[in-house]
Amino acid sequence: MLTELNHLVTSLQKRLSNPLPGQEAHQLAEVQSQTPLFFLNSIETAVPASVLILLFLKDNDIHFFLTKRTDAVGHHKGQISLPGGAWEDGEQLHETAIRETEEEIGVDRHIIQLVGGLTPFYTPVTGFMVHPFIGWCRKRPSTNIQTDEVHKLFTVSLSTLLDDQIFQSENWEIRGHTAIVPFYNFEGYKAWGVTASILSEFKSILKDVKL
């Protein structure tokens, strides 16, 4: 399996050096509302942030982490998210993703190796421009969650992400409006919004490298 992980990392690095699916993949997970939703934030004043898809070996498959956020956090309360957070002055954006992963779920930043970056995604609800990155380490790293921010930490295999049957949609009420919300259903944990958009691009790229 280590050979398979090394091969995937090499293939991803080559693929990420070429044009990415970006908006085309993001739109697959776009929330659709008959009533236009208006937001006070503007992309011109977006706050940079970063998240990390951290690949590692577990149970004869390649996995990555997702978190269920607490209701105490400032944004995306209770949602399923990738580890990450806001950029700090002096950092490169990939450093933000790695630092936040260490702070949120306790993975030692020194064992994380960077693969590359995906297409930035603007979230008008919170005003963040989210920069997704892919990293890897050889095996499931030790973790220690920051309980103020993370309610639960769990892992998802790439074979699960690639299963088209887990990509579903439902009618939800958002801000008083009925909307069709696409999401990835990871055994009852529903990843939607920005996380689903990022995972849709990642899934498209995985298919390109014929995982």
Domain residue extents for the chain = 2-208
* pLDDT of 36: 67
pLDDT tens, residue by residue, 106-150: 999 999 999 999 999 998 888 899 999 999 999 999 999 999 999
Percent pLDDT > 70 in the chain is 94
| 1: its two tokens | 């399996």
- CATH classification code of 2-208: 3.90.79.10
State the chain's mean pLDDT as an integer: 93
How far apart, in Å, are the Cα atoms of 165 and each of 147, 161, 186, 197? 32, 9, 11, 17
State percent of the chain over pLDDT 90.
Answer: 81
pLDDT digits 0-9 by tens, 45-78: 889 999 999 999 999 999 999 999 987 766 666 8
Tell which residue, 131, 99, 102, has the closest CA to residue 116.
131
Q: What global pTM score does this model have?
A: 0.94
Query: Lowest-pLDDT range, 87-91, 125-129, 202-206?
Result: 125-129
Kindly tell me if the per-residue pLDDT of 210 is higher than 90: no
* Cα separations in angstroms, 129 against 31, 98, 113, 202: 17, 17, 23, 17
- Antiparallel, parallel or unpaired: β 61-69 and 84-86: unpaired
The CA-to-CA distance between both ends of the chain, in Å, stands at 13
